[in-house]
Amino acid sequence: MRLASAFFALVILPAAVAGQPGGGGGVTIQAGEECPAGMTEVRPRNCRPPTLPAPSILDYRPRSTLVTTAHLVPRSKFPSIDYHGHPTGLGSAEALERLADDLDRIGVRVMVVANNVSGDALRTQVALAQASPRLRDRLRFLTGIDFRDVGPGWAERAVAQLEADVATGAVGIGEIGKGLGLSTRKADGSRLQIDDPALDPVWQAAARLKLPVFIHTADPQEFWQPIDNTNERWLELALFPNRRYPPENNPSFEQLMTERDNMIGRNPCTTFVVAHMGWHANDLPRLARMMNAMPNMLVEVGAVLYDIGRQPRAAHDFFVRYQDRILFGKDSFQPEEYPYYWRVFETNDDYFDYYRDYHASWKLYGVGLPDEVLQNVYYRNALRITPGIPQIGWPDAIGAAPR
């Protein structure tokens, strides 16, 4: 009897849909098949089109009816270090005043400027910061390395420049950009691989000079995939066509990851801070294997909040387990975006908006990290690996009262 009525329902459904104004007929699919374009599965193996034209993904903005407690966090609970700083204005005393106001408002005590500059440009920026009473102790600078035209004599010149920049005040190296691996060419015209042995003298000099190496390699893996209806980053790739990496003229995502890991593994005395969690925040088991295999590697969380906040339980466990190896960093300097990070890290809030729709078509959840973990991620780890950051004035003891 049950079987018969189920059979009846399956047969009758398409006819009923076809009778509705504007509704096309439904179709039946086999187990494992997907509905045809423009339809959705309304009952097992039964697809139906909507009776109204579907809005585009740009225009569909459903209001959430979820009633739940929201805990907005305008400032980080503990003073923080932004290890991935790209401040917009360093060029004038007025710009530095604005930056100081912004940093105060969001709770960032120290910004590590990761603008990949060296030589005279670095000297100018350090001098400007030193002249600012409010930022003198709150801005620190990484130095840049010019990876173009690697060939005979390159490493000696690069190490000499590094030593000069340390004398200027550089406290680390970076941000080494994704151009290393993707586009930078050697003197002989070939692509410079991230694990090219010609670079090893520089990594070894970084270890000797106690300079952490902050490196961004590749981009989210979906940037290498076809731009179709299954691509998580469809909107971003459609908005920014230059973010696509067609396989015919780019090294693959896995090739770049392999080269990066070879380089880190081969230089165990050098401290590497892998930006954007290595683009593996969507695959924490993989990132955990890397952390276990390479104790000289730390990760930075900039611009991957959409992956942390969509898996609050797994992210919580990962952050607790690797709490000594994770640094806060933000990347693009938009002061109003920092509170999203604080809310994800510090609260247990459910289902809230992320700040950038084109990164993520989903909502975020709070990870609810314990204070000890927050302190490690916000400042202790950066202080430990970067002697050039002012070491005093931080909440010291484990479990110290916030601010």
355 to 232, 282, 341, 363: CA distances (angstroms): 16, 18, 10, 10
Burial class (CB in 10 A: 0-12, 13-18, 19+), 330: buried
Tokens of 334: 């938009």
What's the closest the beta carbon of residue 86 comes to Zn ion, in angstroms? 6
What's the closest the beta carbon of residue 317 comes to Zn ion, in angstroms? 27
11 to 6, 17, 29, 64, 215: CA distances (angstroms): 9, 11, 13, 35, 59
| Helix or strand holding residue 5 (H, E) | helix 2-18
Closest to Zn ion by CB, 82 or 175:
175
Instruction: Name residues contacting Zn ion, limited to 276-305 (CB under 5 A).
Output: none
What's the closest the beta carbon of residue 235 comes to Zn ion, in angstroms? 21
What's the closest the beta carbon of residue 177 comes to Zn ion, in angstroms? 8
Closest to Zn ion by CB, 85 or 309:
85
Closest to Zn ion by CB, 111 or 373:
111
Expressed in angstroms, the distance from the first to the final Cα of the chain is 69
Is 307 a residue that touches Zn ion (CB under 5 A)?
Answer: no
What's the closest the beta carbon of residue 343 comes to Zn ion, in angstroms? 22
Stretch that binds Zn ion, among 20-28, 60-68, 171-179, 196-204 (CB under 5 A): 171-179
Stretch that binds Zn ion, among 33-41, 246-254, 326-334, 353-361 (CB under 5 A): 326-334
The 8-class DSSP code of residue 379 comes to I
What's the closest the beta carbon of residue 175 comes to Zn ion, in angstroms? 5
Tokens of 41: 């599965």
Q: Which of 259, 300, 331, 346 binds Zn ion (CB under 5 A)?
A: 331
Stretch that binds Zn ion, among 70-78, 147-155, 282-290, 327-335 (CB under 5 A): 327-335
Cα 26 from Cα 36, distance rounded (Å) = 10
Closest to Zn ion by CB, 217 or 271:
217
Stretch that binds Zn ion, among 8-16, 61-69, 286-294, 325-333 (CB under 5 A): 325-333
What's the closest the beta carbon of residue 218 comes to Zn ion, in angstroms? 13
* Cα three-residue angle 71-299-340, rounded to 5 degrees: 20
Q: Which amino acid is at 386?
A: T
What's the closest the beta carbon of residue 201 comes to Zn ion, in angstroms? 25
Stretch that binds Zn ion, among 46-54, 131-139, 167-175, 192-200 (CB under 5 A): 167-175
Stretch that binds Zn ion, among 75-83, 156-164, 170-178, 346-354 (CB under 5 A): 170-178
* Beta carbons within 8 Å of 11's beta carbon, 6+ residues apart: none
Tokens of 181: 């691996």
> What are the DSSP calls for 71-111, one per residue?
---SS-SS-EEEEEEE-S--SSHHHHHHHHHHHHHHTEEEE
Closest to Zn ion by CB, 195 or 331:
331
Interface with Zn ion: number of residues (CB under 5 A): 2
Cα 346 from Cα 374, distance rounded (Å) = 8
What's the closest the beta carbon of residue 61 comes to Zn ion, in angstroms? 30
Residue 388 main-chain phi, psi, to 5 deg: -75, -5
Q: Which of 82, 102, 165, 175 binds Zn ion (CB under 5 A)?
A: 175
Collapsing DSSP states into helix, strand and coil, what is residue 151? coil
Closest to Zn ion by CB, 175 or 261:
175
Closest to Zn ion by CB, 134 or 243:
243
Closest to Zn ion by CB, 48 or 140:
140
Tokens of 368: 């609810």
Binding site for Zn ion (CB under 5 A): 175, 331
